[in-house]
Amino acid sequence: MKIEDINMVVTGAASGIGRAFALNFAQLGANVVAFDMNQEGLDALKAENDKIVTYVGSVANEDDVKGAVQAGVDAFGHVNGLINNAGIFRDHLLVKKDRKTGEITTMTLENWQKVIDVDLTGPFLCAREVAAHLVETGNPGVIVNISSCSRVGNRGQSNYSAAKAGLVADTKLWGEELAKHGIRVGAIAPGFVQTPILDGMRPEMLEKMLSVVPLRRAAKPDEIVLAAKFIFECDYFTSRCIDVDGGISM
């Protein structure tokens, strides 16, 4: 698929990697709906590229997802691309005992569910609505799911790891289910990426974290964009996950 032929929805587009996806693909000629809960971030994105259409809402809300896809249809005539990028963290060990007080704390059901809602149910809703639109209109399309190197399991991230592993499993089966409709599905599993979250870390903590990465640095957002660009442009790619993690082993 040629980039200039893509009418896409990018979730979590107001900041970080999502912002890079929206800006880069728009600059390459794609039409983009930037979908996020952060109105201020979307306004800043729009100010940088006024061709980007913005939509405020939550990927975990079914009506909001339908509204974002419809915004693309209204603006561009149809939607044939999706990057499921929106995600949140609510980290905690499954069970933790305080060394000093002996107090036992656990990962709360609320924080488990919040991450599953945004990081797994959200991509399901977005992929379902875009795929249904494509099947109805008879158009081919591409869905890209943003997973994580944490999908193999990372201490303190039971919720996040489960969601990102589930997203890779869904990538495989959605690719198989939708191939007959001309819809390809791929995933990207980034490692550490230079985003505002990393920028806000203490230097010594960031250095320790990156010491386990063979390349000894975080990825630039544009380097993750390259993987998405490959998935969209390579018509023989589907049902697989690309690791862009600097060689890290979790």
Q: Which of 25, 55, 160, 174 is catalytic?
A: 160
- Evaluate if residue 96 carries a pLDDT over 80: yes
pLDDT attached to residue 139:
97
Radius of gyration of the chain (CA): 18
The identity of residue 145, as a single letter, is: N
Task: Domain 3-241: give its CATH superfamily.
Answer: NAD(P)-binding Rossmann-like Domain (3.40.50.720)
Q: Find where tokens 């032929």 sit.
A: 5
- Evaluate if residue 250 carries a pLDDT over 80: no
What are the DSSP E strand ranges found in the chain?
Answer: 7-11, 31-36, 53-56, 81-84, 95-97, 104-106, 141-146, 183-190, 240-244
Mean pLDDT of the residues in the chain: 94
Nearby residues of 227 by Cβ (< 8 Å), 6 or more positions away: 188, 242, 244
The identity of residue 41, as a single letter, is: G
CA distances for 3 relative to 53, 64, 85, 234, angstroms:
17, 26, 18, 11
- Evaluate if residue 150 carries a pLDDT over 90: no
Residue 55 among the catalytic residues: no
Cβ distance 83 to 146 under 8 Å?
A: yes
The number of CA neighbours under 13 Å toward the Cβ of 21 is 34
Tens of pLDDT, residue by residue over 22-49, are 999 999 999 999 999 999 999 999 999 9
- pTM of this structure: 0.93
pLDDT attached to residue 174:
98
Mean pLDDT of 106-132: 97
Q: How confident is the model at residue 236 (pLDDT cuts 50, 70, 90)?
A: very high
Q: How confident is the model at residue 71 (pLDDT cuts 50, 70, 90)?
A: very high
The number of CA neighbours under 13 Å toward the Cβ of 118 is 21
Residue 1 buriedness (CB in 10 A; 0-12 / 13-18 / 19+)? middle
